[in-house]
Structure 1
Amino acid sequence: MPEPQPIVAFAWIASHPWLYPLLEALHVVGIGLLLGSLVLLELRVWGLGASLPVEPLARLALPLSLAGFGLAATTGLTMFISQPGELLANRVFVVKMALLMLAGLNAASFHARGGLQSLDRFARMQTLVSLGLWLAVIICGRWIAYY
């Protein structure tokens, strides 16, 4: 199988003196928005801040999480298209993408089964899985550069 070649029109992004570092910084901002708002909601699922109603907190936190994910995904995709061959050959990058998929499936399952409404043991376990997956995604993201 031939190795994927960089998309020539986008290869310049990786070597640009300020664009790639800006993308990396915005990627981190997106991750911060995503994880920060998720952790607040997950702590509420675990019973911390029980005086805060879950539904209004979710109406605030979930759009921030989605915005953070959107920013991280957009900047990540832009960085990816600048060097797809190199990244696809990096095992840590592939693991990161698999973890992202699992995190998305876990979130979809949590909301599809009404985890915010039930706040049961399974919902709490899903929040632990969520946090673990997102932390693993972040660790893999940092590790890509060193692998």
Structure 2
Amino acid sequence: MTPRPPFDEQSARDKVQAAEDAWNTCDPERVALAYTKDSVWRNRDRFLTGREEIVEFLRQKWSREQDYALRKELWAFRDNRIAVRYQYECHDAAGQWWRSYGNELWEFAPDGLMSRRESSINDIPITETERRVFGPRAQQEQDAELPLR
């Protein structure tokens, strides 16, 4: 059963881990099921409304961002809102690796689906040897704090 608001610390952590797990599948349809049908997003400079736009956005994202691997961390929560910070790594078609640092603000409907997502992201080029995020997080690594750099 999906955690529903109002969130306590454990249900907020569970929600963040579930989001990380889903995004690491790189399956747009699966990820989109966590959002209300009319969910609104701001992702960098893009504004989206509804699952169909979310699915199309994610298809494009993961066609560009190859070998995508993500880590999310709970930052704060209150009632029906959660704030997270995250880092992901991927490479582009030319083979350049990137680490992206982001912050998200989430708002949830009473049924536990996300109705609003606002994401600010910065990208830095890295070498393949600088990578530190490889595939889905192992169980023993869950709740590990993300490094600042």
Superposition TM-score tier, normalisation by shorter sequence: under 0.3
TM-score w.r.t. the length of structure 1 is: 0.28
Q: Larger relative CO (CA 8 A, sep 6+): 1 or 2? A: 1
Higher Cα Rg: structure 1 or 2? 1
Higher fraction of strand: 2
